[in-house]
Amino acid sequence: MEYIEKIREKFISLVEEHDLAQEKVQVVSARSLTPEEAIGNPERKDFPLLKGKEVMVQAIFKGDIGQAYTDMPGDFQGTLGEVLRFPLQNNFQCAVFIASLNAVLRHLNMIDKTVHCRDAEPKKCADNLVSYVQERFGNPRIAFIGLQPAMVASLSPHFSIRVTDMDLDNIGIHKCGVIIESFEKNAEVIDWGDIVLSTGSTAVNGTLELVMRKKPVVFYGVTITGIAHLMNYDYYCHCGH
């Protein structure tokens, strides 16, 4: 994953600049972040966090919090230097790395919105996305990568939209006003769209580079916050904390 190595290089330079390599970074067990802790009690009940399809890894660095979605929970506690030396060979390691990146950049006051929104906020975020897209792009065809049900439900009445997902339980199902297609069709769907709205979880599961296909890309969610800052990516997170 060449892109994650570029991110690692930028993160290492930042850590060395601020002499943080030996500082402890505590990553709380993803298991300890219950769905209610991660997202509260939103109106919709079909978010991946609530369905148990994904969990939230939370890193704490000097009291500042960073989060990242993953489908591979686990535990880690060690120094930031150890995180920077991770082989990044599976989704758990990538999630710990990215959550830690978010926590450190939050601590350095370089980013905010590193903690997932809760309760009524996911719907508010989704509703605001409609005007965000209209103001920036007009009336585009949207390639939506990674089903976020509240967002798709808000967008589908206003735009032509195709949605792909990795969850086999969703593929081929009519949800939120559209038929959910397989992630294996990402390239086709992106080529069809005028713009791409992509989950930041692509940074964890190794598919981020696959969505960068010469179309305007806007990533959504807290996972991508630190990477978007370091790599100058567009991202949308209206209600994160």
The fold of the 121-236 domain, in CATH, is: Rossmann fold (3.40.50)
Q: Which residues pair with 165 in a beta bridge?
A: 182
Distance CA 102, CA 29 (A): 17
Closest alpha carbon to 223 in 141, 78, 101: 101
Question: Which range is least confidently modeled, 7-11, 54-58, 142-146, 159-163?
Answer: 54-58
* Dist. CA 59–CA 56, nearest whole Å: 10
Q: Where are the beta strands (DSSP E) in 100-225?
A: 142-145, 161-165, 174-175, 178-182, 195-199, 217-220
User: Going by DSSP bridges, is the β-strand pair 76-79/174-175 parallel, antiparallel, or unpaired?
Assistant: unpaired
Give the residue-averaged pLDDT of 176-203.
Answer: 94
pLDDT of residue 217: 97
Average of per-residue pLDDT across 208-223: 92
Give the tens place of pLDDT for each residue, 68-105. Answer: 988 887 778 888 999 999 999 898 899 999 999 999 99
Q: Where are the domains of the chain?
A: 2-107, 121-236
